[in-house]
Copies of this chain bind each other. A is one copy, B any other.
Amino acid sequence: MRSMSNNGGSKIHGNLTERMDAFKERCRQAGLKVTPQRIAVFRTLIESNEHPSAEMVFRQVRKIFPNISMDTVNRTLLMLKEIGAAIVVPGLGGPKRFDGNIQPHHHLICMKCKKIIDFYHEPFDNIQVPQRVKRAFAVSRITVYLEGLCDKCRPKR
């Protein structure tokens, strides 16, 4: 059974070193410098499975890089989205939540505790967008978005 993630396990797909190397390469191809700050932010992001906000990444990355500034974290996260190394998870306002997992997947959002939970479901990856939409809009990403209450927040069964 394909599991819902958020299972405490790592979200990193493939070897960490490989992903870091691929990231460095992607920076170079985009004409961006590979700085220790960028490496630290990217690594923190892909090691997290809680769809962190800039603030959350900042707190975490500070542990190994005490002098990094919030701006740099913010700018780096936006840059990651720009070059396609991260996505911003759709949400209902509040701080942006980032995700280093760019594999096709979908999200549940708990309306109460704001937790974001990944789930994988191949049929959703292949849903067909109607022609009339494709004609009027260059679709780059399709996601199914579920609102509700997580196990902890919903009234007891």
Contact = CB atoms under 8 A, between A and B. Distances in A.
Interface of A: 1, 3-4, 88, 90-93, 95-96, 108, 110-111, 117, 119, 121, 123-124, 127, 129-130, 132-133, 136-151, 154
B96 A96 contact: no
Contacts of A127: 123-124, 127, 144
29 contacts: A1-B132, A3-B132, A4-B132, A90-B90, A90-B91, A90-B145, A93-B93, A110-B137, A111-B140, A117-B137, A119-B130, A121-B133, A136-B150, A136-B151, A137-B148, A137-B154, A138-B148, A139-B146, A139-B147, A139-B148, A140-B147, A141-B146, A141-B147, A141-B148, A142-B145, A143-B144, A143-B146, A143-B147, A144-B144
Nearest to A97: B93
A53 to B, nearest CB: 10
A149 B144 contact: no
B132 A151 contact: no
State the oligomeric state as a number of copies.
Answer: 2
Nearest to A136: B151
Nearest 7 A/B pairs, CB to CB: A93-B96, A90-B90, A141-B147, A139-B148, A138-B154, A88-B92, A138-B149
